[in-house]
Structure 1
Amino acid sequence: MSKDLQRLEYLNTKIKSLPSSPGVYQYFNEDGKIIYIGKAKNLKKRVASYFTKQHDYGKTRVLVKKIAEIKHIVVDTEEDALLLENNLIKKYQPRYNILLKDDKSFPWIVVKNERFPRVFHTRNFIRDGSTYFGPYTSVGIVRTMLDLFKQLYPLRTCKHNLSKENVEQGKFKVCLEYHIGNCKGPCIDEYSEEIYNEHIASIKEILKGNISSVLKFMKDIMMDYASELEFEKAEEVKNKIQLLESHQSKSTIVNPKLSNLDVFSVIEDEKAGYVNFMRVVNGSVIQSHTMEFKKRLEETKQDILVSAISEMQSRLTVLSREILVPFKPEIELKNSMFLIPKIGDKKKLLDLSERNVKYYRLDKLKQQSIIKKEPREERILKVMQSDLRLKELPRHIECFDNSNIQGTNPVAACVVFKNGKPSKKDYRHFNIKTVEGPNDFASMEEVVYRRYKRLSDEGDELPQLVVIDGGKGQLGSAVRILRELDLIDKIAVIGIAKRLEEIFYPGDPIPLYLDKNSESLKIIQHLRNEAHRFGITFHRQKRSINFIKSDLENIPGIGQKTIEQLMIKFKSLNNIKASTIENLEAVIGKDKAKKVYSWYNSSK
Structure 2
Amino acid sequence: MTRRLTPDEAEALLIPEPALETPAAAARERLLTEVAALPALPGVYRYFDAEGGLLYVGKAKHLKRRVSSYFQKDHGGTRIGHMVSKIVRMETTVVRSEAEALLLENNLIKSLNPRFNILFRDDKSYPYLKFVTHEFPRVVYFRGAVDRRHRYFGPYPSAWAVKEGIQLMQKVFLLRTCEDTVFHNRTRPCLLHQIHRCSAPCVDLISREDYAADVRNAVRFLSGQTQEVLDGLQAQMMACAEAFDYEKAAELRDQIATLSKVLQQQSVFTQEDRDTDILAVKVQGGRACVNLAMVRGGRHLGDRAYFPAHVEDAVAVDVGDEAPESAAEAAEAGDAPETARPVEARVLEAFIAQHYLGAACPPVLVTSHPVDRGLVAMLTDPQGHKVSAQHQPRENRRAWLDMAVKGAELALARLLSEEGSQQARTRALVEALDLAPEGMDAGLEGLRIECFDISHTAGEATQASCVVFEGHKMQPGQYRRYNITGITGGDDYAAMRQVLTRRYAKLVDAVQQGTGRLPDLVLVDGGRGQISVAREVFTTLGLNLSLLVGVEKGEGRKVGLEELVFADGREKVYLGHDSAALMLVAQIRDEAHRFAITGMRAKRASVRTGGSRLEDIAGVGPKKRARLLQRFGGVRGVAAASVEDLAGVEGISPELAEEIYRALR
TM-score by length of 2: 0.49
What is residue 214 of structure 1 aligned with on the other side?
A: 229
Aligned pairs for 1:50-89 (under 5 A) are 50-55=70-75, 58-72=78-92, 78=98, 81-82=101-102, 84-89=104-109
Aligned pairs for 1:317-336 (under 5 A) are 317-329=360-372, 331-333=375-377, 334=380, 335-336=386-387
Structure-1 separation of matches of 2:96 and 2:217: 39
Q: Does 1:339 find its partner at 2:383? A: no
Is the 2:41–2:62 contact (alpha carbons within 8 Å) kept by the matching residues of 1? yes
Structure-2 separation of matches of 1:282 and 1:313: 20
Q: Does 1:301 find its partner at 2:318? A: no
Equivalent of residue 416 in structure 2, options 348, 358, 365: 365
What is residue 519 of structure 1 aligned with on the other side?
A: 559
Structure-2 separation of matches of 1:342 and 1:189: 50
Is the 2:281–2:288 contact (alpha carbons within 8 Å) kept by the matching residues of 1? yes
Aligned partner of residue 100 in structure 1, secondary structure? coil
CA-CA distance at 1:340 after TM superposition? 2.9
Structure-1 separation of matches of 2:421 and 2:344: 27
Structure-1 separation of matches of 2:285 and 2:564: 45
Equivalent of residue 349 in structure 1, options 400, 413, 419: 400
Structure-2 separation of matches of 1:80 and 1:222: 57
Gaps of 5+ in 2: 1-20, 316-342, 381-385, 430-553, 566-571, 573-665
CA-CA distance at 1:264 after TM superposition? 1.9
Structure-1 separation of matches of 2:212 and 2:35: 58
* Superposed CA RMSD: 4.3
Is the 1:28–1:67 contact (alpha carbons within 8 Å) kept by the matching residues of 2? yes
The one-letter amino acid of 1:206's match is: F
Structure-1 separation of matches of 2:282 and 2:426: 29
Equivalent of residue 118 in structure 2, options 98, 107, 111: 98
Structure-2 separation of matches of 1:190 and 1:23: 65
Structure-1 separation of matches of 2:103 and 2:296: 25
The one-letter amino acid of 1:235's match is: A
CA-CA distance at 1:309 after TM superposition? 1.4
Q: After superposition, what is the alpha-carbon deviation per residue over 1:402-423, rounded to whole angstroms, capped at 9, x for unaligned? A: xxxxxxxxxxxxxxxxxxxxxx
Q: Does 1:261 find its partner at 2:276? A: yes
Structure-2 separation of matches of 1:234 and 1:77: 63
Q: Does 1:237 find its partner at 2:252? A: yes
CA-CA distance at 1:305 after TM superposition? 0.7
Closer, same or farther: CA 97–376 of 1 in aligned 2, 3 Å = closer
Closer, same or farther: CA 355–9 of 1 in aligned 2, 3 Å = same
Equivalent of residue 219 in structure 2, options 194, 204, 215: 204
Q: After superposition, what is the alpha-carbon deviation per residue over 1:519-552, rounded to whole angstroms, capped at 9, x for unaligned? A: 15x55999xxxxxx9xxxxxxxxxxxxxxxxxxx
Structure-2 separation of matches of 1:202 and 1:290: 32
Is the 2:224–2:273 contact (alpha carbons within 8 Å) kept by the matching residues of 1? no
Bigger Cα displacement from structure 2, 16-25 vs 279-288: 16-25
CA-CA distance at 1:272 after TM superposition? 1.4
Is the 2:275–2:362 contact (alpha carbons within 8 Å) kept by the matching residues of 1? no
Q: After superposition, what is the alpha-carbon deviation per residue over 1:250-276, rounded to whole angstroms, capped at 9, x for unaligned? A: 335376457433322222124211122
Q: Does 1:275 find its partner at 2:290? A: yes
Aligned partner of residue 146 in structure 2, secondary structure? coil
Q: After superposition, what is the alpha-carbon deviation per residue over 1:210-249, rounded to whole angstroms, capped at 9, x for unaligned? A: 4333222322222232222223322323333233223323
Structure-1 separation of matches of 2:209 and 2:65: 59
CA-CA distance at 1:150 after TM superposition? 1.7
Closer, same or farther: CA 118–22 of 1 in aligned 2, 3 Å = farther
Closer, same or farther: CA 344–98 of 1 in aligned 2, 3 Å = same
Closer, same or farther: CA 199–359 of 1 in aligned 2, 3 Å = same
Bigger Cα displacement from structure 2, 43-52 vs 13-22: 13-22
Structure-2 separation of matches of 1:348 and 1:187: 44
What is residue 560 of structure 1 aligned with on the other side?
A: none
Closer, same or farther: CA 60–376 of 1 in aligned 2, 3 Å = closer
The one-letter amino acid of 2:145's match is: F
Is the 2:127–2:155 contact (alpha carbons within 8 Å) kept by the matching residues of 1? yes
Q: After superposition, what is the alpha-carbon deviation per residue over 1:260-309, rounded to whole angstroms, capped at 9, x for unaligned? A: 33322222124211122223356532342221122251513222011121
Structure-2 separation of matches of 1:377 and 1:52: 46
Structure-1 separation of matches of 2:365 and 2:135: 35
Q: Does 1:107 find its partner at 2:150? A: no
The one-letter amino acid of 1:329's match is: D
Bigger Cα displacement from structure 2, 181-190 vs 32-41: 181-190
Q: After superposition, what is the alpha-carbon deviation per residue over 1:146-196, rounded to whole angstroms, capped at 9, x for unaligned? A: 11112233444455599xxxxxxxx95446666864666777999766554
What is residue 156 of structure 2 aligned with on the other side?
A: 136
What is residue 412 of structure 1 aligned with on the other side?
A: none
What is residue 119 of structure 1 aligned with on the other side?
A: 139
The one-letter amino acid of 2:559's match is: E
What is residue 307 of structure 2 aligned with on the other side?
A: 292
Closer, same or farther: CA 95–107 of 1 in aligned 2, 3 Å = same
Aligned partner of residue 129 in structure 2, secondary structure? strand
Equivalent of residue 170 in structure 2, options 150, 159, 165: 150
CA-CA distance at 1:30 after TM superposition? 3.7
Structure-1 separation of matches of 2:427 and 2:231: 57
What is residue 266 of structure 2 aligned with on the other side?
A: 251
Is the 2:279–2:292 contact (alpha carbons within 8 Å) kept by the matching residues of 1? yes
Structure-2 separation of matches of 1:130 and 1:55: 56
Structure-2 separation of matches of 1:88 and 1:102: 13
Structure-2 separation of matches of 1:87 and 1:113: 35
Closer, same or farther: CA 523–143 of 1 in aligned 2, 3 Å = same
Aligned partner of residue 71 in structure 1, secondary structure? strand
Closer, same or farther: CA 10–161 of 1 in aligned 2, 3 Å = farther
Is the 2:116–2:314 contact (alpha carbons within 8 Å) kept by the matching residues of 1? no
Q: Does 1:223 find its partner at 2:238? A: yes
Closer, same or farther: CA 179–293 of 1 in aligned 2, 3 Å = closer
CA-CA distance at 1:82 after TM superposition? 4.4
Structure-1 separation of matches of 2:72 and 2:134: 58
CA-CA distance at 1:142 after TM superposition? 1.6
What is residue 530 of structure 1 aligned with on the other side?
A: none
CA-CA distance at 1:336 after TM superposition? 1.9
Structure-2 separation of matches of 1:203 and 1:17: 62
Aligned partner of residue 135 in structure 1, secondary structure? coil
Aligned partner of residue 317 in structure 1, secondary structure? coil
Aligned pairs for 1:479-558 (under 5 A) are 518-519=558-559
CA-CA distance at 1:317 after TM superposition? 1.4
Greater Rg, structure 1 or structure 2?
1
Aligned partner of residue 345 in structure 2, secondary structure? helix
Q: After superposition, what is the alpha-carbon deviation per residue over 1:308-364, rounded to whole angstroms, capped at 9, x for unaligned? A: 212441596113235344223363323222223176544343322222211222222
TM-score by length of 1: 0.53
Closer, same or farther: CA 270–72 of 1 in aligned 2, 3 Å = farther
Bigger relative CO (Cα 8 Å, ≥ 6 apart) = 2
The one-letter amino acid of 2:376's match is: E
